[in-house]
Structure 1
Amino acid sequence: MNRSILYVLAFLSLSVVCAPVHGATPRNPYLGRWALTIPGGGAGWLSVAEENGHLSAHILWGGGSVIRMASACMDADTLVVTRLHTVDRKDKEGKVLYKDTFTETIVAKVSGDTMHLTQIRPRFDGKGVNRNEFTGKRIPPLPPKPDLSNTRYGKPITLFDGSNLNGWKLTNPRQKNGWSAEDGVLVNRPTQQEGKRHVSYGNLRTEAEFEDFNLKLEVKVPKKGNSGVYLRGIYEVQIANTRDRGLDSHNMGGIYSRIAPTASAEKPAGQWQTMNITLLDRHVTVELNDRVIIDNQPLLGCTGGALWSDEFKPGPIYLQGDHSAISYRNIVLTPILRREETVIFEDRFENRLADGWTWIRENPQTQRIRRGALEIRVEPGVAHTVRNALVRKVPFYRSRGKYAIDVTVTNTTKPTQQYEQAGITWYHAGKPVFKLVKELVDGELMIIPGRKPMSSETVQLRLVVDGNDFIAQFRPNAEGKFQTAATGKLPVPANDHVSIQCYNGPVEAEHWIRFDDFRVSQLSE
């Protein structure tokens, strides 16, 4: 007996044996929402619930919308769900003679928070079945609705400067790029030539990835236009010409197939429209043309076209470009600061220094505040002779918790001098005893301590202090998760100060460092 026949028999057996379960209890390990990685690596989603003593299931399979499955039931400790596919059977002239209905079966087993699934799908030509295995992860319960009035924001980031596509790339480099910068506008023109083979155009995403944020932009949708703004690459805010079509999750401003707008605020096609979107704790708020149309609503899972199904992974902003022409401008993202951090002190270096700083060996000619950052020239010298070291008393008692000191460091010129460096220095009893810096060592830029390679111009440095223990961390381009460079011990407290500084610069050239977003926070345990 060949394998195809075995698969068909297994499929038929499941269809016959399985029966709905009555009285399922909350302890049923299948109940809940699952983030799927479907065959081929795409994003999917499965929800299993109990309704009137019976199981029900909804699924998202790659693209499109969430759909209800035809059936869901238990076969002993195995979950079995089905969905139906209707196929037109036509004659040689293309006339539909009749319809065939095929039943696709998905069989699932749970182990803790992991689901192992098998898809058994008949081939529509009636010659065998396809069998695919894939996995899912349980999605944790949604947190309470966040208090947006107490949200703290970082510094706004201009994602598109109007002149070029720097910082953007296609989600799939094999597709054709229809995007360009024209007169301050990000334009997509996915043109097709009549009589020619259809050209597949690409979606455009930021190279940077983000966690929670506020996103503001303007968009102009032509007649019959269709695009989308994906938040962290997983939740699509629908962009489409749907004026006067009613309130639907597939219309302008809705979370595609998930959340319908509560009000109509769309302008006619061809007019610029404003969007103000806040994503926080898996809740979303959407303002369209200064009117709230989705108010802090929970997101149950990814939407069709998501890059992945993991809702806790940092991700890009991506703009759908495979449907129609579209125009965007004034795209600005403002990160939301993590709530597990209580900011004790911060200085964004806007116009002047915050109170409490002092200079060591100040040279006013080689330091300045410009464009929202502190710029210091990297002068010759070593730790004990450094010039323009900016110092302040550590604003916490080490015994009272866990703290983080952050600063973003950018080289405006490529370092050339051996041991040329910039970053954070810890002072103990008036002397420098520890540094977390980006440093040129033997021709290679690296994070010290730890000697971690670091080639990007910008890096966010984080010194975590927990009692006398430290963790030296960094994030290239101030994006994604922090990486640990080294751990160790600090001296016992004695007039602790922290400094941002740079030194070992060349004599014959001007090298400058930009220090940005200095912050001291208390971390939750």
Structure 2
Amino acid sequence: MSPLRRLAIVLALTAFGPRAGHAELLFEDRFDKELSDRWEIVGLTKEDYRLRNGGLEVRIQPQQGGDKTPMLKIMLPFTIEDTAIASVEVTVLDEFTREGEGAALCLLDETGVDFTVQKQRIEGGLFFAPGEYRFAGKDGEEGNPAKYHVHYTPATNAAGPLRIVTRGDHAYFMVGPSEEGKYQTFFHSAVNPKPKRRGFALRAGGGKPGDNHWVRYDNFRVTK
């Protein structure tokens, strides 16, 4: 791992750890009674999602080209000056069978999806994606993308909720807290530096037509 990559992770863990006493709640849906009317349903029929036993269950949608996968989305009042944190618990109810099938939490801007984190089927297993880029080169080769390999961590429920943290023109993929109270950081990326609007979405896609796979979302929460 390069020194810059290690520093970025350390800063993320330090700066974006939970600070409940200082956080402003922007939106929360526990899915315990009915779906909040603030959600916008995009491309999903009423048969594709349901509330059951205090959670939101969504049918995996077939693989589609481009950025057309149906979703539930909500736009919220935060800007690049804010540190915003979205979290949601994700449970895979039916085993994924198609490569790339996944249940995602997405960061949005006014044009669509800007950053995605998920539990995804990769080479036959269920992993957190995007994975962690680990440096495998020599000193001085940190700028060469070919000198990195991607490490994927198995996506267990015990690891905790999926989390997207945004700060400035970067977004970070974190998971936690785990059952032991730990957080993990897997990936970060530059995002739209001048968004007109921002929000988040729940998206389940990459499936095969005719499959009937469902995933469950619990305790969706956004703070800044």
Pairwise same-fold verdict (TM > 0.5) = yes
Counterpart residue number, 1:395 = 77
- Alpha carbons of 1:465 and 1:378: their partners in 2 closer, same or farther (altered >3 Å)? same
Alignment of 1:14-413 (within 5 A): 338-382=20-64, 384-387=67-70, 389-399=71-81, 401-413=82-94
RMSD after superposition: 2.2
The 8 Å contact of residues 471 and 487 in structure 1, kept in 2 or not, is answered as yes
Distance, in Å, in 1 between the alignment partners of 2:55 and 2:161 is 14
Is there any run of 5+ residues in structure 2 with no aligned partner, and where? 1-18, 132-150
Q: Any idea what SS the aligned residue of 2:24 has?
A: strand
Counterpart residue number, 1:473 = 174
1:484 aligns with 2:195: no
Counterpart residue number, 1:512 = 214
Write the deviation string for residues 333-391 of structure 1: whole angstroms up to 9, x where unpaired: xxxx932433221110122112321011121112101111110011212362213x000
Distance, in Å, in 2 between the alignment partners of 1:407 and 1:507 is 26
Write the deviation string for residues 458-515 of structure 1: whole angstroms up to 9, x where unpaired: 6411111111122210138665221001122111223223111100123343111101
Distance, in Å, in 1 between the alignment partners of 2:186 and 2:22 is 22
Distance, in Å, in 1 between the alignment partners of 2:95 and 2:202 is 19
1:520 maps to amino acid: V
The 8 Å contact of residues 347 and 519 in structure 1, kept in 2 or not, is answered as yes
Counterpart residue number, 2:9 = none
The 8 Å contact of residues 444 and 453 in structure 1, kept in 2 or not, is answered as no
Write the deviation string for residues 410-441 of structure 1: whole angstroms up to 9, x where unpaired: 00112111000112112223222320111111
Overall identity of the aligned pairs, in %: 27
Offset of residue 519 of structure 1: 0.4
Is there any run of 5+ residues in structure 1 with no aligned partner, and where? 1-336
The 8 Å contact of residues 78 and 198 in structure 2, kept in 1 or not, is answered as no
Return structure 1 stretches of 4+ with deviation > 3 angstroms. 476-479
1:462 maps to amino acid: R
Q: Any idea what SS the aligned residue of 1:352 has?
A: coil
Distance, in Å, in 1 between the alignment partners of 2:96 and 2:179 is 19
* TM score, norm. by length of structure 2: 0.75
- Alpha carbons of 1:507 and 1:477: their partners in 2 closer, same or farther (altered >3 Å)? farther
How many residues of Structure 1 are paired with residues of Structure 2 in the alignment? Answer: 185
1:442 maps to amino acid: E
The 8 Å contact of residues 77 and 198 in structure 2, kept in 1 or not, is answered as no
Distance, in Å, in 1 between the alignment partners of 2:68 and 2:192 is 22
The 8 Å contact of residues 454 and 476 in structure 1, kept in 2 or not, is answered as no
- Alpha carbons of 1:477 and 1:377: their partners in 2 closer, same or farther (altered >3 Å)? farther
* TM score, norm. by length of structure 1: 0.33
| Bigger relative contact order (CA 8 A; separation at least 6) | 2
Counterpart residue number, 1:424 = 105
The 8 Å contact of residues 79 and 198 in structure 2, kept in 1 or not, is answered as no
